Amino acid sequence: DITFVTCTAPVNIAVIKYWGKRDNDLILPVNSSLSVTLHQDQLKSTTTVACSAHFKEDRIWLNGKEENINQPRLQSCLKEIRRLVRKRRSDGDTSTDVLSLSHKVHICSENNFPTAAGLASSAAGYACLVYTLSRLLGVEGELSAIARQGSGSACRSMYGGFVQWHMGMQADGKDSVAEQVEPESHWPELRILILVVSAERKPVGSTAGMQTSVETSSLLKHRAQAVVSTRMDEMILAIRQRDFSTFGELTMRDSNQFHAICLDTYPPIFYLNDVSRRIISLVHRYNHHYRETRVAYTFDAGPNAVIYTLQQHVSEFVQVVTHFFPPETNGGEFLKGLPVGSVSLSDELTRAIGLEPL
């Protein structure tokens, strides 16, 4: 008598970053953020949750290894979902009776990409966990507010396409929820490339890093009070109009401001390395050559570059990256799995970019 459900949830990549909490327990941010959710069959978490009267306790396995179930964030998500089940029952819904509240769950979750390498694994993981639990136990409601309590960025992976996480005003966090701005189909030419500079675990995790930033960075306060709100309006307009040039510039400026906050944190936090900075230069030189923003980078809490561009520029840009990061250099590794471009580069373009050799 085991009942189980399996679901997947993709990673999301923020173009307006979340960095800093006003409430550490409920995970309420100091500013709103906006991201793009990847396609379902790309970087994703897959979670199976089983439920049975025979299970003696809740248990969880991550990538095949059993982990401690008594982590506060995990417990918050389980508690909130069970609260919804109770609420449905008290509202007179009998369909959830099959799965008794006293039933324990076994959770099994896997990522198809490196965990904690700054690739937003917690976002896909918690979004997937909350969604799978909700399916198994037959509950509906504001699920993004529950995923948020697992990991802030997870609330945005509850929707596809372009997603805004409203910071909200309430102390109980009820209005700190994700909302879809546009579906994935709105901008079919948009592409995301991930340049895996390093798949190692990051030295300072985002949770600890942003807490130190909140305590010590005055730039973080300035950003929350005077930058994000206008930038958010501009970003949403750029997305609605499919204006890549504005979308790309805002994305790069926001990534740079986030890393400036990391440097303004005391002691400072460094997520970018020399390869990351070389990618930044390459992108600017490429765009400068065309006098147009064709490619944009963004970096999370790690050295890996996420590149936003449009379908028609993918082949050429991948060729450019291959040229300036040849496979024999340490950078060559990150091109694994990327489509190899079919265009050949003109000498004029490579000369114009003219990046110094590694």
Per-residue binding string, ligand DP6, 159-198, x by CB under 6 A, is ----------------------------------------
Q: Between 7 and 120, whose beta carbon lies closer to ligand DP6?
A: 120
Closest to ligand DP6 by CB, 111 or 319: 111
Calculate the alpha carbon distances from 116 to 200, 241, 295 in Å.
Answer: 8, 34, 26
Q: Does 303 contact ligand DP6 by CB under 6 A?
A: no
What residues between 92 and 121 interact with ligand DP6 by CB under 6 A? 120
On the 0-12 / 13-18 / 19+ scale of CB atoms within 10 A, 142 is middle
50 counts as binding ligand DP6 under rule CB under 6 A: no
Q: Which two tokens stand for residue 93?
A: 């819904």
Q: Residues 6 or more apart from 219 whose CB is under 8 A from it?
A: 257, 260, 261, 264
CB of 21 to ligand DP6, least distance (A): 7
Q: Using the rule CB under 6 A, which residue among 32, 45, 151, 198 binds ligand DP6?
A: 151
Per DSSP, the three-state class of 48 is: strand
Q: What is the H or E stretch that residue 181 is in?
A: strand 178-182
Quick one: the chain helix, strand, coil %, rounded to 5?
45, 20, 35
Q: How far is the CB of 145 from ligand DP6 (least distance, A)?
A: 13
CA angle (189 as vertex; 187, 194 as ends), nearest 5 = 105
Closer Cβ to ligand DP6, 6 or 63, answer by number: 63
Site for ligand DP6 in 198-227 (CB under 6 A): 206-207
Q: What are residue 206's phi and psi, to 5 degrees?
A: -65, -35
Minimum separation from the CB atom of position 99 to ligand DP6 (A): 28
User: Which residue lies nearer to ligand DP6 by CB, 152 or 173?
Assistant: 152
Q: Indicate whether 254 belongs to the interface with ligand DP6 (CB under 6 A).
A: no
Compute the distance between CA of residue 17 and CA of residue 21 in angstroms, rounded to an integer.
12
Site for ligand DP6 in 4-43 (CB under 6 A): 14, 17-19, 27, 33
Least distance from C-beta 54 to ligand DP6, angstroms? 33
Instruction: Write down the least CB distance from residue 86 to ligand DP6, Å.
Output: 26
SS3 at position 127: helix
Give 257-284 as a DSSP string: HHHHHHHHSSS------HHHHHHHHHHH
- Regarding 257 and contact with ligand DP6 (CB under 6 A), the answer is no
Q: Site size for ligand DP6, by CB under 6 A?
A: 16
Kindly state whether residue 153 participates in binding ligand DP6, applying the rule CB under 6 A. yes
Does 293 sit near ligand DP6 (CB under 6 A)? no
Contact 9, 131 (CB under 8 A): yes
Point out which residues bind ligand DP6 (CB under 6 A). Answer: 14, 17-19, 27, 33, 120, 122-123, 151-153, 206-207, 300-301
